[in-house]
Amino acid sequence: MARWQPDAPGRLAAAALDLFEEHGYENTTVIEIAERAGLTKSTFFRYFPDKREVLFGAGTITGLLTEGIASAPSAAGPLDAVADALDALGRTFFAADRREFSRRRQAVLNANTELREREALKRIDLTAAMIEALERRGVPILTARVTAQLGTLVWEIAYDQWIDATTGEDFGPLARRALADVRATGVVR
């Protein structure tokens, strides 16, 4: 692959995933990832601080969610603002062409404790970002915290269903259904 081709972060993520599957996370080096992507080690470090981060993006999901919450209609309640953000995330980030990559990525994460821990930390960051976005909308802190926790739960449920979907169902409708299921418990309205 030529060095001047676009989407270096995407190429690095694809190369890393291939190598993690082939040789294991522990047995793969940054240099191998960069070489597989047709890039240099310094290019790798321009986008990612270490090899763990190559499968987690550079805040893409967090940015999309916070933008989605901010752009939700002003009359939307906190959970509805999160639902709008999840819809936007589904349209932008969880396109059908990313499903296979996401399935493979999840299998690699499931096989490695260090990566599962990193995923858990990323979800904590995601929740914190949603709390801040909700507070900027004027949502009281306690409501923002509970709503963000529920939003993260809904995201997790929808994501698991999306990567496992054999019907090709889109992420947004899965997230809306997960939110409806959470609401149906009677704990939240």
Indicate if 95 and 119 belong to the same structural domain.
Answer: yes
Range of the domain at 167: 59-181
Round to whole Å and give the CA distance between 130 and 79: 11
pLDDT, tens digit, 9 for 90 and up, residues 29-82:
999 999 999 999 999 999 999 998 999 875 678 888 999 999 999 999 999 999
Name the E strands within 84-184.
none
Indicate if 14 and 73 belong to the same structural domain.
Answer: no
128 CB burial (10 A radius; 0-12, 13-18, 19+): middle
Amino acid type, 81: A
With bands split at pLDDT 50, 70 and 90, how would you rate the model's confidence at 4?
low
Indicate if 125 and 47 belong to the same structural domain.
Answer: no
Percentage of the chain exceeding pLDDT 70: 95
Element holding 160 (H helix, E strand): helix 141-164
pTM, entire model: 0.84
Domain count across the chain: 2
pLDDT, tens digit, 9 for 90 and up, residues 145-169:
999 999 999 999 999 999 987 777 8
* Residue 189 counted as domain residue: no
98 CB burial (10 A radius; 0-12, 13-18, 19+): middle
